[in-house]
Structure 1
Amino acid sequence: MADVGGSSGVQYFEGVEKLLEIWFTRNDGAVKQCDLRKISRSKWESLLKIVRCEVISFVRNEHVDAYVLSESSMFITNRRFILKTCGTTTPLLCLKPLLMLVEQYAGFNEVEDVFYSRKNFKRPDLQLSPHKAFEQEVAVLNSFFKDGAAYCMGNMIEDCWYLYTLNPLGEGNKARRGIQEPDQTLEILMSDLDPDIMNVFTREESSSAAEATQKSGIDKLIPNMVIDDFLFEPCGYSMNGISKKAGPELAAGCYMTIHITPEPEFSYVSFESNVPQSSYKEVISRVLETFQPGKFVITVFANKASAAAASPKELERHTSFGDWLRHDVQYCRFKNYDLIYAFYSKFPS
């Protein structure tokens, strides 16, 4: 959020994030001694300089290290790396040093799967190379991964969502196994937010991040989370939540993250979580009631081992959420994952 100008409308800030997720393994299967969390914080901080952001805050449990960044978040588990950055950051420029770091200090020597995604930018002209166009981003990713596939969901003229992942067929048409452990991700990407709600995420309205979290109801979206939040000056908000403990409500390694750009001219809120649920309808409804967006995009990824395996199909049948009507939906079935993309906007009053 560091790029936000000192007064509303003076300097544009791109709230839309670039989301990079990489799963690592070893080509000989000997992964017991491998762990991304062996990489020191100083090494991660050096990597983030290439991305053009820095660490603001940090919490961890036995399953996940969660970093609040000056531009969004980073999550590190045993073998999964997640980097989510907004503004004019350059996450794909860190791929080469990241792969070297992971092999040298964590012991992994092979990428098992890659997911790179983002909504369309409002001001792509302000982005730095290679993020000015999705085609440029794909070219960079293809230079590291030989079996990639690129997709665009939604209306390319207005609101759409880009995805790059590894082709299910893999190199030489030999099928990849893919991620076998339960995995799922829900994202809600919201625009045209209610100005009164957005005011909560300014220093004029809230004296601290904790106050903004409580006033807005963010602390009630998913229970039993340790919340690490930050309120920027003069406005803007970021939070990470990680599960207090594994149990019936929250599985090990669960997280949620929210990032808010409150300026009315370019308001934007992102919500993301990997909490496994057979249905995400209640979580989605709570998020929408909390932020009251004019329009939003939902994406749900779930693999066959996930408790959320049926959720993409369920959302495909869900044509509205309260005051929000669905205008576009696309369903994709990959070898090991199902994906739903849907775009909604509020009924005219």
Structure 2
Amino acid sequence: MATDYFFEGAEKLLEIWFGRQDGKNENGDLRKIPREKYEDLLKAACCEVISYTSNDEIDAYVLSESSMFVTKRRFILKTCGTTTPIECIKPLLLNVHEFTGFDEVEDVFYSRKNFERPELQKDTHRNFKLEIESLNIIFKGTGVARFMRSSKTNDSWYLYALHPVECFGKEKQNPDQTLEILMTNLDPHVMQIFTKDQSANASQATQDSGISELLPNMKIDDFLFEPCGYSMNGIAKEGHYMTIHITPQQEFSYVSFETNVPQSSYKELILKVLKTFQPEKCVLTMFTNEISPSKSNHKEFKYLTHLGEWQQDSNRTCSLKNHDLTVSFYSKYPS
């Protein structure tokens, strides 16, 4: 798959939680926003809907560049390439005000790994300082930035979140957790599965790669791009989801895995993901709120100095407005 072409696999991940000032969140629902309004705001982010699945708790969209998820109170937009997700925030806030019954932003997370070719990004997204400035304009300077870097590789990870003031009471929360695994320099034999040369369709790629076995009982919506590239969303009851996006070209291979399925220990799942895709390097991030059944993972991550063939370079934990965060960097050590 040698090519002069370049595609930035690393996504920009935007997550916004909404609520009501009177605390009656049951009276609001982001899914009341019409489909065409979501399609319009995706145009501002320079992407579009490819396919859609839903259940009683979550709407999931596979996009031309990654994914979007909408639940009652949470909006998630994850976009790769040269997309501009920050540009969709203002129209989203207008739509929320008009259609949903919500009247406040409860929490915001904007995060990403370092780009391989930041100079190819559009305007605001060329560096994190510019992204912070744009987000602080929208959210009136109420954000806090975090920056984590591997001690051994050139990998880094950036986060913008609302400042930890006026925390919402636990009575307004539901258990929440998100695990993300961002992988680079992947096994070219595995990556070949995600090309039209080897797989006839997305379903074959999902089965042959082992993706279907990572979190069984998910309703999977997958897509295999021409001539290569892969995206999938999986949804289950209680609003649980997983999403995987794959840029398979050897020169800039990248895979991301994300889920909010709660587990008291993510170690086995992380190992399954790493063994499935065989990256040289990865960044693990985990958010949990106070009542999440996954919150014990923060302590476990600290002592996970090895995950099979992968050795921990760095580990850091910090507290945010309503969540705790752990970021760990791993790289494969010589056999």
Counterpart of 1:261 in structure 2 is 247
Q: What percent of counterpart residues are identical?
A: 59
> Aligned AA for 1:161?
W
Counterpart of 2:144 in structure 1 is 149
Counterpart of 2:57 in structure 1 is 63
Whole-angstrom CA distance in 2 between matches of 1:277 and 1:175:
25
TM-score (norm 2): 0.96
8 A contact 2:150–2:313 mirrored in 1: no
Whole-angstrom CA distance in 2 between matches of 1:130 and 1:340:
26
Task: Tell me the C-alpha RMSD between the 2 structures.
Answer: 1.4
CA offsets per residue over residues 169-213 of structure 1, 9 Å max, x none? Answer: 2xxxx5554862100000000000000000000000000000000
Work out whether 1:288 is the aligned partner of 2:271: no
TM-score (norm 1): 0.92
8 A contact 1:67–1:240 mirrored in 2: yes
> Aligned AA for 1:149?
V
8 A contact 2:190–2:209 mirrored in 1: yes
Counterpart mapping for 1:125-164 below 5 A: 125-146=119-140, 147-155=142-150, 158-164=154-160
Equivalent residue for 2:265, pick from 279, 304, 307 = 279
> Aligned AA for 1:236?
G
Segments of structure 1 that go 5 or more residues without pairing to the other structure are: 1-6, 246-251
8 A contact 2:245–2:256 mirrored in 1: yes
Whole-angstrom CA distance in 2 between matches of 1:242 and 1:333:
28
Counterpart of 1:180 in structure 2 is 173
CA offsets per residue over residues 55-99 of structure 1, 9 Å max, x none? Answer: 001000000000000000000000100000000000001111110
Counterpart of 1:193 in structure 2 is 186
Whole-angstrom CA distance in 2 between matches of 1:238 and 1:120:
21
Counterpart of 2:317 in structure 1 is 331
Cα separation, partners in 2 of 1:175 and 1:77, compared to 1, 3 Å: closer
Cα separation, partners in 2 of 1:294 and 1:106, compared to 1, 3 Å: same
> Aligned AA for 1:221?
L
Deviating above 3 A after TM superposition, structure 1's stretches of 4 or more consecutive aligned residues are 174-179
Counterpart of 2:164 in structure 1 is 168
> Aligned AA for 2:204?
E
Work out whether 1:346 is the aligned partner of 2:332: yes
Deviation at 1:108, TM superposition (A): 1.1
Whole-angstrom CA distance in 2 between matches of 1:33 and 1:268:
40
Count of residues in Structure 1 that have an aligned counterpart in Structure 2: 332
> Aligned AA for 1:267?
S
Counterpart of 1:249 in structure 2 is none
> Aligned AA for 2:260?
N
Counterpart of 2:44 in structure 1 is 50
8 A contact 1:319–1:326 mirrored in 2: yes
CA offsets per residue over residues 82-133 of structure 1, 9 Å max, x none? Answer: 0000000000011111100011011211100001000000000000011001
Whole-angstrom CA distance in 2 between matches of 1:239 and 1:220:
13
Work out whether 1:103 is the aligned partner of 2:101: no
Please identify, of 305-314 and 329-338, the stretch whose mean Cα deviation from structure 2 is larger.
329-338
Deviation at 1:348, TM superposition (A): 1.6
> Aligned AA for 1:195?
P
Deviation at 1:240, TM superposition (A): 0.1
CA offsets per residue over residues 25-82 of structure 1, 9 Å max, x none? Answer: 1122233331111111111111101100000010000000000000000000001000
Counterpart of 1:229 in structure 2 is 222
Deviation at 1:259, TM superposition (A): 0.1
Deviation at 1:9, TM superposition (A): 2.1
> Aligned AA for 1:325?
Q
8 A contact 1:303–1:336 mirrored in 2: yes
8 A contact 1:14–1:86 mirrored in 2: yes
SS at match of 2:27: coil
Deviation at 1:328, TM superposition (A): 1.0
Whole-angstrom CA distance in 2 between matches of 1:308 and 1:180:
15
Whole-angstrom CA distance in 2 between matches of 1:39 and 1:335:
27
Work out whether 1:241 is the aligned partner of 2:227: no
> Aligned AA for 2:210?
G
Equivalent residue for 2:11, pick from 17, 30, 33 = 17
> Aligned AA for 1:109?
D
SS at match of 2:194: coil
Segments of structure 2 that go 5 or more residues without pairing to the other structure are: none
Whole-angstrom CA distance in 1 between matches of 2:168 and 2:56:
29
Counterpart of 1:122 in structure 2 is 116
